[in-house]
A and B are shown apart, each in its own frame.
Chain A
Amino acid sequence: MKLYEFQGKEIFKKYGIPVQSGFLIHAKDNGKDLTPPLVLKSQVLVGGRGKAGGIKIWDGSTDASKIINDLFALTIQGEKVKAILALEKVDILREIYLSITFNRGKSTPVLIVGTSGGMDIEESARLNKEKIYFVEIDPFLGILEYQIRFVAKKLNIDNYLEFKNIIRAVYKIFKEYDATLVEINPLAITPGGFVAIDAKVNLDDQSRFRHEELFNKLREEKEFIQDKKEAHASKPKEDTITYVSLSGDIGVISDGAGTGLFTLDLINEYGGKVANFCEMGGITNSEVMLKSLKMVASDQSVKSILVVLIGGFNRMDDMAEGILKFKKELNKDIPIFIRMCGTKEEIGKELMKKANIPVYDSLNIAVKKAVKKAMEN
């Protein structure tokens, strides 16, 4: 779960990381008493907000409501602005980049600092515009003093004690919230000390079972400012289904990500176009099969459905049951092509045979048939 800046900053405050004082403006609010100067920041979850014009400074010389209305009219990378964070303006002497995340290649937490923060950390890292340092953290030992001293030296930090406390706090948040990313970009050095100008906190949905209350609270805050549709998308998943909508006419369901990807490549090779793709996860059941078929079939552009099953964990008797339920409930005639093999395949195939549903053993043949059918229709 990605958090909004205002949510991240609430957490920062609790852990003693200095942030600007400020308040949230909702689209529903009208005419708050504002005192200049203020930094007005659109609250969106996508990146590139600054470049898209989502951050404005109000110095009092113009009408604040005009700026606010302009911001609320913005859509940044498909995301509508529904809330604005109004913050006191601070004088910035220098900006640095600071984050803790996971180094995926090495399966370890990593502290990343950069000599100049700002909007384009990825780009400037690529172009070598600034120096970036990576410090791997032992997940049992946590971040060590000498590691902080190292980055403080590299960044030419004067106020070491304050800097150390911020890094310790960032790591503490990273651990205690089961975060996958805690990022301050930029961390400003001001005449009054450090200030976290931005806050990006991503939480691990897989850790939900130990943060039930926290996740619910954060989600409620998000839903308060979001569209119904977006709020729905951020709801916790009750199953392992991954659904991706594309632009062709073949619906694809697989019970493994690798074979799913491979099937998409094969369809492409045979000249077919995929309308949508549903990956059920390796451990699934008849209800998930039924739900996946319904999701795929609900897309009006789907002319044929290809179900690719190769069960290890996944049981073919369960899958057959789901397919039969779907056939019973379905009121339109979409041809379904099923490749079924693996765990309990004898029972699964027998069930399909009894219901007169053809099952293929070869992936190639099933893919070819589904592509051909979609082209005919």
Chain B
Amino acid sequence: MSILINKNTKVLVLGITGKSGRLQTEIMKRYGTNIVAGVTPGKGGKEVEGVPVYDFVKEAVNNHEIDVAISFVPPPYAKDSCIEVTENSIKFLVLTTEQIPEHDVVQIIKYAENKGARILGPGSAGLISPGKCKLGVHPPNMYKEGHIGVVSKSGALSYEVGKTLTENGIGQSTVVAIGGGPFWGLTQLNIIKLFQEDDDTKMIVLLGEIGGTMEEETAKFIKKEVDKPVISLIVGSSAPKGKSLGHAGAIIEGDLGTAKSKINALREAGAYIAKNHMDIVEQIRKIEGK
């Protein structure tokens, strides 16, 4: 098993004719992801990598069975496109787009919530269940099938840790990047809950970073509801205060959002705090050896 996606998942790609959409469709298809249709307004009737392109989500849904969607749509059109997807009863959407106006983001998230749909993102690199399905931009060669569930805010950090695990012979059940914030559809807590329920996931790796209070809230949940081992790496201890280093959410304001506060909360919840990526490997081996 895996979470959110599996080898039968049928995928719709939004913004499939753009530069990123096209390249990532090619890479996902090569990985074995079952991409059945694409949408770009005005490009209906074309094909990308053998995938039929439609003008509207409705047309794609009428012609194909679709489980999930992934969006590469640029910021000005992101809201429209996300609502069109949700409106057509697609229950899971990976939103890779960054820099969407905040007023649009809160509407996208609220609309999905009202319709009972899940949104991963915005600014998400997506997720990969090695050997089964890749819905996003995770570099395929950095992952292998296994039993570690990884959740990260940052896409790049989830590649980094995936690569380290794989190079050390440790496979993953699913690796999920939720996005750099400051707004999120699915949170660390939501993903960890899915990992807790997933039979195939034996241990959970939580990659957090400075800013906001999400890790603290996740820690409360872990303490109450999670009995699988959780190993956490929190990055940004050495970052200067009051400055955003890329992710809008990764900023220390006053006492809020420091690495120390997150580490303390997670440690208190029973998670192991890794010093760096190599330490994650060592800890997994230690637990497996028991």
Contacts and interface: CB of A to CB of B under 8 A. Distances in A.
Interface string A245-264: 01000000011111111101
Given A258-B207, A268-B237, A312-B159, A105 B139 contact: no
Interface string B60-100: 00000000000000011000000000000000000010111
A140 B245 contact: no
Contacts of A207: 101-103
B213 interface: yes
B52 interface: no
B110 A256 contact: no
Nearest to A264: B238
Contacts of A269: 275-276
Contact of B27 (A107, A180, A310, A343): A343
Interface string A91-135: 000000000001011011100000000000010000000000000
A265 B237 contact: yes
A257 B217 contact: no
A190 interface: no
A138 B110 CA distance: 8
Interface string A264-290: 111111000010010101110000000
B214 to A, nearest CB: 7
Contacts of A240: 98-99
B120 interface: no
Given A257-B246, A257-B247, A313 B183 contact: no
B157 A258 contact: yes
A204 B102 contact: yes
Contacts of A138: 110
Interface string B235-246: 111111001111
A265 B235 contact: yes
Most-contacted residue by chain B among A206, A207, A254, A269 (CB, 10 A)? A206
Given A105-B214, A178-B103, A262 B160 contact: yes
B238 A268 contact: yes
Interface residues of B, number: 68
Contact of B155 (A206, A210, A312, A315): A312
Nearest to B156: A256
A244 B160 contact: no
A336 interface: no
A214 to B, nearest CB: 14
Contact of A180 (B102, B243, B250): B102
B157 A256 contact: yes
Given A258-B153, A312-B156, A265 B236 contact: yes
Contacts of A255: 156
A265 to B, nearest CB: 5
Contacts of B236: 261, 264-265
A172 to B, nearest CB: 13
Contact of A343 (B100, B139, B243): B139
Contact of B212 (A104, A175, A264, A345): A104
A296 B43 CA distance: 41
Contact of A277 (B98, B103, B245): B245
A341 interface: yes
Contacts, number: 179
A277 B247 CA distance: 13
B90 to A, nearest CB: 20
B196 to A, nearest CB: 21
Nearest to A309: B156
A140 B109 CA distance: 11
B41 interface: no
A371 interface: no
Interface string B22-52: 0110010000000000000000000000000
Contacts of A310: 139, 156, 159-160, 163
A8 interface: no
B209 A244 contact: no
Interface string B265-278: 00000000001111
Contacts of B105: 107
Given A108-B106, A210-B76, A282 B155 contact: yes
A258 B154 contact: yes
Contact of A204 (B98, B103, B250): B103
A364 interface: yes
Contacts of B247: 257-258
Contacts of B136: 312
Contacts of B182: 102, 104
Nearest to A137: B106
B139 A312 contact: yes
A261 B75 CA distance: 25
Nearest to A177: B103
Nearest to B76: A209
B117 to A, nearest CB: 14
A206 B20 CA distance: 20
A138 B114 CA distance: 11
Contact of B244 (A107, A109, A242, A258): A242
B137 A312 contact: yes
A138 B109 CA distance: 11
Contact of B125 (A242, A254, A313, A364): A313
23 contacts: A102-B182, A104-B183, A105-B213, A107-B106, A107-B183, A139-B107, A255-B156, A256-B246, A257-B156, A257-B250, A258-B158, A259-B154, A259-B160, A261-B236, A264-B238, A266-B276, A283-B98, A310-B159, A312-B139, A342-B159, A343-B27, A343-B137, A345-B139
A-B residue pairs, 9 tightest by C-beta: A258-B154, A256-B156, A257-B246, A258-B157, A279-B246, A312-B137, A207-B101, A257-B247, A259-B156
Given A259-B160, A310-B139, 9 more contacts: A207-B101, A210-B76, A257-B209, A268-B237, A282-B123, A312-B139, A313-B96, A313-B155, A315-B23
